[in-house]
Structure 1
């Protein structure tokens, strides 16, 4: 999955830095860039003398839209903290915040030889393996949420309460900047996510929010951010930790299970954002969303209300629309890392419409259930 370098780096300076600071990596290096990843440019480093492989993640070049995004130092610190837990992560090798080396902060981690699936339906595996791989993904998330930040020296990694309100405040700052980004060719600004202000107002109502909980959260936990064993049906590593913090575990749960959620959404189907493989019974071996929730709850030892899950589903789609707006903004400024950035950018508006639809569904559920349905 690594190929030509789209965002050049100064290889001579990188090799010099490694020679002086990271003796385990032998130079000279062969460097390629991964094609996936929407945010931080990611490179495959191969030591020519030893053929040992490593992965480098760096901030994007140029002036960044937000100081809160692209925090590769957070990625480094969280995977380093989790190295000796039962959560599978790459080994953290080094962190460099000297921008004179490759132009931005970067870190290097071990390369995990295994399988990465862009399609969460896990094509070309047996029904038995598909079920086992999804179960492993769900249970691995439960293990991660079960790690107490204080036990790994990360109690100051984030604030323990009011996660969703903090998210709303962060997204407000980010979205405002992203909306103003102007396309370098057309001169047209990216613009707001549809129903952005209405969705923000709804989610900001404390009475509607899920019960406040506090765990580590990954921030973008999904199938294509995992490495599966080369031949066996289980997760050997979790990738892309830049949005990790301490927060509400439902944010990760609903992000992972979003393919199941959108598969049953008429709006998602109408705009091509529903994967038909996740319609119940459509794909041999595919678990249901309800089974995944049970697997997760068996690991962590708590349960969520149906209305809590629906609220978090709606928030996850809202959050996804802001992320897609960010991709659109980086694409407009020609800073986007992924080869498919243009395709993702075009999905910002349909995703925003989906989020508003889910809010309408949640309000209907709450009205139908009266006080018993309130979160």
Structure 2
């Protein structure tokens, strides 16, 4: 919080930190008192229609500022030593929490955990950033009379991770069971009302706002992160119930939290059941749109560079295109699913074909041109070949020369199929 004081993320001023346990019996810090509103009910009762909309949009705006922070420049690299596999690590962590407080077998919780582990790699193509870990409306202090955030508080779960996790945490209230508000502050179900008349933007509108401001595509992985939020809440509520059984209840309704564990697990599985688990078709559509909008228009510039005196230097727009591909979730699509990637070779083949239609397309998504950018184990080749033929794709098996260079190449724009000897 001290480091963030010099950024566009609003936080209280930090006054002092004491690590001497003898003073209060534990470590503590002192920060300024921020006079304002903490809004614990997402329905925002007693607030005008226009201000309700502005409050939600301000919540999303501040979140994009948080995710834009330069972690390295602020010296915050040390808050997380493991930046890879964020969602998989989070699912494992909350799974352990659940197991430690489990009082009975709940098959839906187990099923949700398995589904999340199987799909956790879907978020790995996103660039890691500072994440709050518990970004919700009631962890913000708003101005007493204006829809303006004065401070983001409760940073205990902050780490380096996937930005979409914070976005899903802030919007899970749209899906949460109505019964949750009895036990957990900050939970409501605004979707049960007419949102437009009520003044609260829809979930879809807020996701779109985040995507526009952060220049990041979230919808492809949205179901996975929503399901994770449901799983995390189930784990938290199981802990609430376990502590209540042991005489350490956080609220008078804590003993009723057991039923909510099942409700959140059911919510997570409904999201999982409704989702296109692989998301392959969605990503293929994104790849094709990215090629049309970003890659093809740059080919003329690339060929001009390749014919110039600077042809042996890096073409400047390439790094910018790579960053756009990363922000769009189109990075490292080629890694096979059985090696930790997002797609099977059969699912990836049409994406490879789409990128291979441009000489610069493969490199933009972290593949090396100029050959058709599909790497596979030979035992996968028959399946992939059948899949590609069914899809009407043009294929080439390159024959490699004695120095490891391709003896033939494939022009993705042609209508002819060129088949040589297999590698």
TM-score by length of 1: 0.67
Unaligned runs of 5+ in 2: 182-186, 287-341, 344-423
1:1-375, aligned counterparts within 5 Å? Answer: 79-158=1-80, 159-179=82-102, 190-191=103-104, 194-205=107-118, 209-213=122-126, 214-262=128-176, 268=177, 275-276=189-190, 279-281=193-195, 283-304=197-218, 306-337=219-250, 341-342=254-255, 344=257, 346-363=259-276, 366=279
**Distance in 2 between residues matched to 1:210 and 1:336, nearest whole Å:** 36
More strand by share: 1
Measured at CA, do residues 154 and 370 of structure 1 come closer, stay the same or move farther in structure 2, by a change above 3 Å?
Answer: closer
Instruction: Tell me, in whole angstroms, the C-alpha distance in 2 between the residues paired with 1:301 and 1:370.
Output: 17
* In structure 2, C-alpha distance between the alignment counterparts of 1:97 and 1:333, rounded to whole Å: 30
Report the 3-state secondary structure (helix = DSSP H, G, I; strand = E; otherwise coil) of the residue aligned with 2:30: strand
Post-superposition offset of 1:269: 5.9
Instruction: Give 1:278 deviation, angstroms.
Output: 5.5
User: Contact 1:324 / 1:347 at 8 angstroms: preserved in 2?
Assistant: yes
| CA separation of 1:338 and 1:82: change in aligned 2, threshold 3 A | farther
**Closer/same/farther in 2, CA of residues 301 and 278 from structure 1, 3 Å limit:** farther
Kept in 1, the 8 Å contact 2:108–2:269? The answer is yes
Q: Deviations over 1:1-21 (max 9, x none)?
A: xxxxxxxxxxxxxxxxxxxxx
* CA distance in structure 1 between the partners assigned to 2:58 and 2:34 by the alignment: 17
- 1:221/1:256 contact within 8 Å kept: yes
Q: Is the 8 A contact 1:250 1:312 kept in 2?
A: yes
Q: Distance in 2 between matches of 1:285 and 1:144?
A: 25
How far apart are the structure 2 equivalents of 1:111 and 1:85?
A: 19
Structure 1 unaligned runs (5+)?
1-78, 180-189, 263-267
Deviates more, 1:341-350 or 1:80-89: 341-350
Aligned-residue offset at 1:346: 4.7
- C-alpha distance in structure 2 between counterparts of 1:152 and 1:170, whole Å: 27
The CA distance in 2 between the partners of 1:138 and 1:359, in whole Å, is 25
Report the Cα distance in structure 1 between the residues aligned to 2:11 and 2:105, rounded to whole angstroms: 36
- Higher RCO, 1 or 2 (CA under 8 Å, sep at least 6)? 1
CA root-mean-square deviation: 2.9
Q: Distance in 1 between matches of 2:247 and 2:101?
A: 13
Supply the distance in 1 between the matched residues of 2:8 and 2:179 (Cα, whole angstroms): 41
CA contact (8 A) 2:134 2:166 kept: yes
1:127 CA drift (Å): 0.9
Kindly state the Cα deviation for residue 220 of structure 1 after the two structures are TM-superposed. 0.9
Post-superposition CA distance 1:304-332 (Å, at most 9, x none): 2x341111111111111111122223333
Q: Secondary structure at the match of 1:149?
A: coil
**Deviations, residues 137-170 of structure 1 (Å, cap 9, x unaligned):** 0100010011021121101211322101111221
Deviates more, 1:196-205 or 1:96-105: 96-105
* Equivalent pairs, count: 281
TM-score (norm 2): 0.60
State the shift of 1:347 in Å.
Answer: 1.9
- 1:99 CA drift (Å): 2.6
CA deviation after TM superposition for structure 1 residue 245, in Å: 0.6
